[in-house]
Structure 1
Amino acid sequence: MNAQKPIPTASLCPICLRRVAARRETDGLDGYIVKDCPEHGEFRTRFWHGPPGIAGWNRPKVPGAPPPVLTESRLGCPHDCGLCPEHGQRTCTALFEVTGRCNLACPVCFARSGEAPAPDPTVGALADRFARIFAATGPVNVQLSGGEPTVRADLPAVVAACRAAGFAFVQVNTNGLALARDPGLARRLADAGLVSVFLQFDGTTDDVFATLRGAPLLAEKLAAIDRCVAAGLGVVLVPTIVPGVNDGQLGDIVRLARSRAPGVRGVHFQPASSFGRYPWESGAGERVTLPDLMRGLEAQTGGMIRAEDFHPPGCEHSLCSFSQPYLLDGEAGLVPAAGQAASCCSPAPAPIAADEGARRAKGFVARQWAAPTFPPKEGGPMDDFDRFLADAATSRRFTLSAMAFQDAWTLDLERTRGCCIHVATADNRLVPFCLYNLTATDGTTLHRGRPCA
């Protein structure tokens, strides 16, 4: 039905990770990645389940200033990541894994955290890595990840070292358990320079956490939010959405987050991808797509959130994410913020240079995911009324967004060459997040735990 001409691209075989020819097919409102491995045959996986239809979902980009080249192109994309000369987008977020240890053993974990972890890098070694990446990228946003970063007793020192390297926006990616259990940890991290907490938060009932994280954790998640807000840290709730587990709680998650605004700055949904410690039988089967999330949010909020509110990104590939800033309205409402990028149903916006898209994305995240502040006015002191206006503008903002990471089934190398979220490796390379975590059906990794090719 209404099939359009396939778009050629390249991918990897999900069984052997061989680079293979692929094509992006559109059938009605749905999108598929189809690839052919000479040894293992054809694979066809749906990655887009409209509406909104894939054909009208686009934010065109034009080349800008090239990103830094840190590795040579010898074997070809995606084997020379680091970034290689074939990459087309600058870094918006650099992710540093500061430990492989974890205080949970989640059935769903992209990093397989806690499985025979290597020793933690020292603060000095991390400081050197921070400095090297800053020299390559400049002041991008940083996320400290793992493993579970809060298992490090010296995490405040790690945060301070990251800030000392020049990074202004430093966020920690955490399950929140240590923040809930240690009354002073959030304050120590804030004093060290932490700006934001990316809090794993999969649902509003304990059965969801028991299924995805192995334990009933709701009370501790809520306590972690309270600790962080009291310490002046911005909090972003990050649900991993798994079909049949928590895709019916999208609206409940938004309502809970809204009830704790403005300390909670928004929700960033992540449909589960088949890499790491995630059931492989789900790889080519049912999966939650970005349009499923948009429609689910509308249906489960009674129309307060509308699918047509959301717009494609100005930085990464259009098929990778959506977002929309809102303003807090009354006691429990949300209304779309004015003056944002066009929604999926608006006329297509003008093309944007890739590096300009990266610059805007960095600035938006740094402003929106931090706690409300009183920023000083350029050129002079800020009087009380200026402070009031500035704080009112930031404290009323609340953002809903989602990112669909690509796995071995859905990988589209055209999309990955536009990736702006890069893992900073131990040997000081930058690898797109999806490629770094990509694993074959038998668990073989493409980049994680491997030196530069």
Structure 2
Amino acid sequence: MSQVIENVESVCPECFKGEEINKIPAQIVEEDGKIWIEKKCPEHGSFKSVVFADSKLYKKWEKYGEAGEGPENVKPLPFSETQLYDKHKSQSVLTNVFVTNRCNLRCSYCFANSGAEGFVYEPSLEELEEMMRQVREEKPVPSKAVQITGGEPTIRNDLLDIVEMAVDMGFRHVQVNTNGIKLAESGEYCQELRDAGVNTIYMSFDGLTKESNPWIEQNKKAIENLRKAGLGVVLVPTVIKDMNLDQLGDIINYAKENLDVVRGVNFQPVSFTGRITNITEEDRESGRVDYATMIKQIEKDLDGQIGEEDWYPVPFVYPISKLVETVKGERQVEFTPSPKCGGATYAFVDGDELVPVTDFVGVEGLIELIEKESEKSGPMKKIRTGISLMRKVSDYIDEEKSPEGVDIKGLIVDAIRGGDYNSLGDFHKKSLFLGSMWFQDAWNLNMDRLSRCVIHYATPEGIVPFCTYNGLNVGQKIREKHSIPVDEWEEKTGKEMRDDLWDGSPIS
């Protein structure tokens, strides 16, 4: 027996295969303890895709989710008259800048189809500056975090110049998305990235076995080099059910053992777009992983150390932004994505065990306190809020269960009161961030979720939400419009595209 939870809008995946974006009505339904999206195209019939394999977890996450105030210049479909939704509702919390579609690997699941698009997209420094300027001038709040991505950014000889430009433009957080091959080849390059202003490396890391991760030795060498350079890394597994679902606990344990350099693990359940848009339904179902399945697998792998109850959706922390606004007296970037966009938890190491922050902090009560404090007004509200927090935070902390050597009260108060990158960094360095982001594709796309996207691409055609840039192939169209043919690029540079490919040689 199914029950309709919500009426939404989506697209037809079969129309999409024919390069047509056809908006159709859809429903979020509960059936047999799971949450699904169901939709019907007049031409291609009905479609059904899992959203959450656990309706209880879905309902818990759905309790959190404030609508934000989005910028005016977000363009979900720059080349189309189709209007996917009325107005974008969230800010550019993280801006992606796509600097090249060349790549030194050919990963089977690449949602950008990098290195195989049949053209070369590689904006100049001047063009990249103009793209980044769009989000730095964004209203009501400029974007403060940028990810340099591709393709493989380290293929560009001027990546350090791009990083320095981003820093000069005022981005407080600069991270590079990479497969890690070049970082493994050169420790000196890792140091140069840090010196240029990179805060974090966001590195593909699909498992600890050769079967799940053919480049595991290169990943490990890259981490060794990053450790020497003092540059933190977030491990990013693309989770595919029939490829590496059994690796999740091992990845977390590896991160725990390298906590001095690994800042977190951000799991990304596979999205069927880019290189794997046109696979069979059987292959899609054998690879599909939802949040609930992933979280339950982690709980099993870690013998219950991190449980389903320890995870909360991203907008759970929205009140912290409002409190920082109260304390600092200025607008802050707000975490207002849909609860369906992702979730996270933090864990601390206590001996050989991982202890989730929820074991010794009443996080729901603490967030309620923060929300109340953020609503204070009147004279000296900054001082009154700080004093009140110092006095009341202890009510939500169980010191006896707190891991040895962790001043959780101090970390929480400093992070909130400081409200800046350095104060948050202290919290991150003493804990392991565990997160998840499941990007949408044409089978499970929900327009309401899309309208609240907080990860945007700065492009030559404007600011584009992540799940239209990749999930609806808008990025490929933008890149092609602003590209040059491969043979022209080869003649211009004196190189051949195939020379980009890593030759697989051992890295000493």
Give the deviation of 1:217 after TM superposition.
Answer: 1.1
Does the 8 Å contact 2:310/2:356 carry over to 1? no
Q: Deviations over 1:266-307 (max 9, x none)?
A: 100001111011262257624111001111111001111111
Question: Is the partner of 1:32 in helix, strand or coil?
Answer: strand
Q: CA deviation at 1:218?
A: 0.9
CA distance in 1, matches of 2:77, 2:228: 50
Alpha-carbon distance change, 119 to 411 in structure 1, aligned in 2, over 3 angstroms: closer
Query: Relative to structure 1, is the Cα distance of residues 71 and 399 closer, same or farther in structure 2, using a 3 angstrom cutoff?
Result: closer
Aligned length: 406
> For residue 304 of structure 2, what is the aligned residue in structure 1?
303
1:392 is displaced (CA, Å) by: 6.9
The structure-2 alpha-carbon separation of the partners of 1:132 and 1:308, relative to structure 1 and needing over 3 Å to count, comes to same
- Which amino acid in the other structure matches residue 325 of structure 1? Y
State the Cα distance separating 1:425 from its structure 2 match.
Answer: 1.2
Does residue 1:328 correspond to 2:349, yes or no?
A: yes
SS in 2 for 1:67: coil
| 1:15 Cα deviation after fit | 1.3
In the other structure, the counterpart of 2:163 is 159
1:31 to 2:35 alignment: yes
Deviation track 1:340-392 (CA, whole Å, cap 9, x = no partner) reads 744xxx99969989xx9xxxxxxxxxxxxxxx9xx99x99xxxxxxx9x9987
1:110 is the counterpart of 2:104? no
Pairwise mapping of residues 110-189 of structure 1 onto structure 2 (< 5 A)? 110-115=111-116, 116-136=118-138, 138-189=142-193
* 2:439 is equivalent to residue 405 of structure 1: yes
Q: Which residue of 2 aligns with 1:294?
A: 295
CA shift at 1:332, angstroms?
A: 4.9
Label 1:252 to 1:430 Cα distance change in 2 as closer, same or farther (>3 A).
Answer: same
Which structure has the larger Rg over C-alpha atoms? 2
Equivalent residue letter for 1:285: E
- Do the aligned partners of 1:329 and 1:335 also contact (CA within 8 Å) in 2? no
Structure 2 residue aligned with 1:212:
none
The CA RMSD over aligned residues, in Å, is 3.3
Contact 2:232 2:262 in 1 (8 A): yes
Letter of the 1:99 counterpart: T
Aligned equivalent of 1:448 = 476
**2:216 maps to 1:218:** yes
1:169 and 1:73 mapped to 2: Cα distance?
25
Checking the alignment, whether the CA contact within 8 Å between 1:317 and 1:419 is kept in structure 2 is yes
Consecutive unaligned residues in structure 1, runs of 5 or more: 210-215, 357-371, 380-386, 440-444
> Kindly tell me: are residues 250 and 157 of structure 1, through their superposed partners in 2, closer, same or farther at Cα, counting changes over 3 Å?
same
TM-score of the pair, normalised by structure 1: 0.81
Q: CA deviation at 1:59?
A: 3.6
Deviations 1:5-61 (A, max 9, x none): 341110000011311111111114211111111111111111211164423332433
Counterpart of 1:203 in structure 2 is: 207
Deviation at 1:325, TM superposition (A): 1.1
Letter in 2 for 1:227: N
Alpha carbons 1:94, 1:142 under 8 Å: kept:
yes
Structure with more helix by fraction = 2
Of stretches 84-93 and 404-413 in structure 1, the one that deviates more from structure 2 is: 84-93
Secondary structure at the aligned position of 1:107 is classed as coil
| 1:432 pairs with 2:434 | no
Runs (4+) off by over 6 Å: 72-78, 346-353, 389-392
Q: Tell me the equivalent position of 1:362.
A: none
Letter in 2 for 1:149: P
Q: Counterpart of 1:98 in structure 2: which amino acid?
A: V
1:226-375 alignment, distance < 5 Å: 226-278=224-276, 280-282=279-281, 285-286=285-286, 287-314=288-315, 315-336=336-357, 338-339=360-361, 341-342=363-364
* Counterpart residue number, 1:366: none
Q: Distance in 2 between matches of 1:35 and 1:438?
A: 17
After superposition, the Cα gap between the structure-2 partners of 1:19 and 1:424, relative to the gap in structure 1 and judged at 3 Å, is same
TM-score of the superposition, structure 2-length normalised? 0.73
**What is the deviation of 1:75?**
9.8
Mark the CA change 1:347 to 1:36 in structure 2 (over 3 Å): closer, same or farther. Answer: farther
Q: 1:94·1:143 contact (CA, 8 Å) conserved in 2?
A: yes
Residue by residue, what CA displacement relative to the aligned partner does 1:57-99 show, whole Å, maximum 9, x if unpaired? 32433444x2211168999999458xx8511111111100011
Q: In the superposition, relative to structure 1, how do residues 277 and 447 fare at CA in structure 2: closer, same or farther (>3 Å)?
A: same
SS across alignment from 2:137? helix
CA distance in structure 1 between the aligned counterparts of 2:436 and 2:36, rounded to whole angstroms: 19
Unaligned runs of 5+ in 2: 16-20, 316-335, 376-410, 482-508
CA distance in 2, matches of 1:310, 1:77: 38
Aligned match of 2:378: none
Identity percentage of aligned residues: 31
Alpha-carbon distance in structure 2 between the residues aligned to 1:46 and 1:411: 11
